[in-house]
Structures are given as C-alpha cells and as structure tokens.
Structure 1
C-alpha cells in the first residue's frame, strides 16, 4: 500500500468526518448491526474498534448492545477521537494508538485480553498487515473474534476513472487478509455484505472534493476538480444509486481442547 500522510488527512477531516460518512439515516445502524452480528457480540464482551475514527460505528454498537464493558475506540488521531465528546459518549473509551501500537503491546489497554475487535476500512493503512494482524490476534481471549471489514479489490462507486484505477492498484485483497488471520492461528472465513446507497449527486461531489476517502488525498486539487467534471458528465442524474459491497474477514481464536 502506498504510504501517505494518513494521520494528517484525518486530522484535517475530523470536524466534518461524520457529515461525509453518514450517507443516509439507515447506513450506520445497518453497518453496526452487521458488525455486531458477524462478531456475535454480547453485552459481557470486552470490545475494541481498531481505527475507530470518530466512533461512528462503535457509538451505534454501544447503543444497540448496551455493553457492560466500555468499547475501546482506538485511533492514532486525537482530533478524530475528540469527536467522541467531552466526556466521551456513554459506553466508549478513547485510546490514542495505532493498530500497530496495539499489536506490539505499546499502548496500555484497560483489558488484559479482548473478546472481540474489528477494523472497519482501516487495514489498508497498515504497512505490515501480516505482522500487525498476528499481534492483534494474540490479544484475543480464547474464543475471541477479530473482524476485518474492507472493500473488495474493485468497487462500483461513481468516482472518476483515475480514482477507481488507483483504488484497484492500492487495495489489499481480502483473500490475503484471510490468509494472514489463518497464519496467525485463527479459524478464518470470508463473506460479503452489500448495501444500496442513494445519495444526492451534489452532496457526493462535495464529499469527493473534501476527500472523504483517504484514497482521494493522493490527488491534487486540480486533479480532483478535473475528476469531478468527469463525474458530472457521466452522472447527470440528481440522485446517485450504487452498491456498497464489503468483504467481512472473520477470525476466531480456538478454545483450548476444542
């Protein structure tokens, strides 16, 4: 994966991040529900959202689940974590750390082991995915689950062609992530979920201009504007309708003796 100033990108986007990610009123509850279902979360679980950003999904999971242990929102961007509120929203605890910090034991956590953790569209920011996922797997309790939610290697977003091409060039293959989890000693599986997005054309173009995807931070202002012109010509319809398809890569630590 090309290394970019990812932290700087999210620091600059933090204040308006939620606005750009809430496609519609049902998107966050839908995704949070799928995460909770895939991880088979229970209120007693010790849970971490690795790469949580502003806690969009952790907040919704906490609301749905009412956990007895606070969900850890782990992110290297203090600006993003500040969006959790002061004090943070109920059921959430911010942890300023990267996935690598957690994997290597460089960040103190209030729980010795975790029963469940997820990485939602953040694994592509990890330089050494095999090493980091192995380290995260080692933080799981027996029977613990680790879920990587990621886009597939191709997407059907109404982006300009250069962005779509660059996405395919940079995006990790979910099958490789599954192999990394297996190599880390987890029972790993790969499934897909899909949600239809309907979003106002001008709003989506504004999201692209604001570089709502970190991928878009690799383009200059002039390249973004040229890309939006291409998108305007290709999509005259007032409402853009397109599928948002995700790979769910799930790993579970075996319980000794089973």
Structure 2
C-alpha cells in the first residue's frame, strides 16, 4: 500500500479541490444547512471550522449566519487556505494550523473561547483523536457546541472494491468518536443525515483519478488505473446515483452560555 503525506496530498489538490467536492449546485448549501442546524448557530457565536480546506462550508455558513465575529477557517495547508482568497472574504478569518496545533495551543486563536466549532471529514486524520477532541472541547465556552461530521464505517460509493475495503480498514467508527466526546464531559448525540448524489460517470472517474478522497492517495497510479477499469465495467450508466450518508456527532458543554 502506497502511503502519501496527508498535508502534501491536500497541497497538490488545492487548486482543484472545490471542483471535486461541489458534486452539484445544491450540495454545499445542503451540508452547510445541516451544520448550522446541528450547532444551532447564531450571528453572535464565535465559530471555528477546523480542517476547513478551501472554506467551502464556512463561506456558505457566513453568508447565512452573518456572524458578528469572523468564522475562523483553520487548516494546516496554506495552499488550501489561499483558495479562500487574500484577504479573506468578509465574515472569515484564516488560521494556518492543524486541529492538534489548536488543541495543544501551538497556534493561537483570536477568541479565548469558542461557542461552536466543527470538524467535517477530518477526524480520521487525527493521530490521537481522543486527546485532540478533549482539548478542543476544553476551548468551548459554557454551553458551547462541537460537531464532528464523518462518513460511517461503511460507504456505498461507486468505487472499486479495494478502495471500499481499505476505507473500512481505515475509517474510525463514529461510536468511538462519540465516546471521546463523552469522556470530555460533553452531552453528546449521534445522528445521521443522507443526501442523494448524482454525478456524471466520466466526471466521477476523473475525481477518483485526481484522488479527491485522501483514501485514494494510498493507491499507486497503476492501482488507480486498474480500479477505474473495474469501475467502468461495473458502472456503464452515464450518471452515477448513490447516497452520501454522514454521521453527525454533537457535543455540548454543560452550563449557560
């Protein structure tokens, strides 16, 4: 199995990232709305998107919430953050750092406490998820909320079989993340949301070839070519239709805000 540096993977993908992740015009608004609902966001909240990438969801949330305090777009990849714009759009502030950097205080934030933060599809990159999530939870104000958005332990994407198998080997179970947040003395809840994706077959194959998921960075070019050949045979239909299902793990710090 070929292992690539995760930060290097996103540095390489940065310029094309939005193209790969905007499956259709309704995807980002749909996911952003689910994040806003789960965190009960308001304009007065001090908010952070940890592992924001190019700020796809933070930008949408800022447009909807109109925050009094800029949303902190936190990511270790400067190339990804550059896609947000320089200077950042109104309502956003860029912070170069990883979740671990923020949790351990190696990178400072402009807000002493946060009222809400989310990590979308980045928790599997944490080397010590329990420790990092506990430290992030400690940054919350009383009544503050944390949301971990992640894929479940199995997915129904039209990927080749070796990719699906490797995903199941590497993906943490949402129940484990829930237990980490409970250990941080948060009131926790696990729910699921689902969105139907419709992607042109050739578009999706290009996304896979470009390694749009970090999982795919563990495959060599030759392995990817073989996998895409397998996908072509299994999916002759011009448009691929499949469910995108997510676990939403929410934790709330006890006390009044």
Measured in 2, the distance between the counterparts of 1:75 and 1:170 equals: 22
- For the aligned residue pairs, the C-alpha RMSD in angstroms reads 1.2
Deviations 1:191-248 (A, max 9, x none): 0000000000000000000000000000000100100000000000000000000000
The aligned runs of 1:45-124 (5 Å cut-off) are: 45-124=45-124
TM normalised by structure 1 equals 0.98
Structure 1 runs of 4+ off > 6 angstroms?
none
Alignment match, 1:137: 137
Deviations 1:43-73 (A, max 9, x none): 0000000000000000000011111110000
The aligned runs of 1:1-258 (5 Å cut-off) are: 4-255=4-255
Cα offset, 1:106, TM superposition: 1.1
Cα offset, 1:4, TM superposition: 4.5
2:127 aligned counterpart, secondary structure: coil
Measured in 2, the distance between the counterparts of 1:92 and 1:211 equals: 28
1:222 aligned counterpart, secondary structure: helix
Q: Does structure 1 conserve the Cα–Cα contact (< 8 Å) formed by 2:3 and 2:218?
A: no
Cα offset, 1:89, TM superposition: 1.5
Measured in 1, the distance between the counterparts of 2:101 and 2:74 equals: 10
2:109 aligned counterpart, secondary structure: coil
Cα offset, 1:105, TM superposition: 1.1
Measured in 1, the distance between the counterparts of 2:118 and 2:16 equals: 23
Deviations 1:172-198 (A, max 9, x none): 000000000000110111000000000
Measured in 2, the distance between the counterparts of 1:134 and 1:51 equals: 16
Q: Which runs of 5+ in 1 are unaligned?
A: none
Measured in 1, the distance between the counterparts of 2:3 and 2:79 equals: 20
| Matched residue count | 256
1:149 aligned counterpart, secondary structure: strand
Measured in 1, the distance between the counterparts of 2:230 and 2:86 equals: 42
Measured in 1, the distance between the counterparts of 2:130 and 2:4 equals: 20
Give the 3 Å change call, closer, same or farther, for CA 150–185 of structure 1 in structure 2: same
Cα offset, 1:3, TM superposition: 7.3
Q: Which runs of 5+ in 2 are unaligned?
A: none
1:69 aligned counterpart, secondary structure: coil
1:228 aligned counterpart, secondary structure: helix
Q: Does structure 1 conserve the Cα–Cα contact (< 8 Å) formed by 2:14 and 2:83?
A: yes
Measured in 1, the distance between the counterparts of 2:174 and 2:180 equals: 10
Q: Does structure 1 conserve the Cα–Cα contact (< 8 Å) formed by 2:118 and 2:149?
A: yes
Measured in 1, the distance between the counterparts of 2:4 and 2:151 equals: 19
